[in-house]
Amino acid sequence: MFVSRRTIFFSLKDATNSRAKVKEVFCFLYEKIDQVDLHYVELKAKHNEDR
């Protein structure tokens, strides 16, 4: 799932958002980044096995 920077900017800028909401957005993003990293590591490992 792709989240654009603009979307993040507007959700952070949104006056109705509390601190908790901002924290939630960042937690969500870090989770996504972790998943991408894990996926990359798995692909790399598989690639090395195939050689």
Domain ranges of the chain: 5-50
Tokens of 47: 């690639």
Question: What pLDDT score does 10 carry?
Answer: 61
45 has a pLDDT exceeding 60:
yes
Q: Give pTM, 2 decimals.
A: 0.38
Overall average pLDDT of the 11-33 stretch: 73
Average pLDDT, the chain: 73
- Work out the angle at residue 11's Cα, subtended by the Cα atoms of residues 7 and 19, and round it to the nearest 5 degrees: 145
Overall average pLDDT of the 37-44 stretch: 82
pLDDT band at 42 (very low <50, low <70, confident <90, very high): confident
First to last CA, the chain: 31
Going by the DSSP 8-state scheme, the letter that residue 4 receives in this structure is -
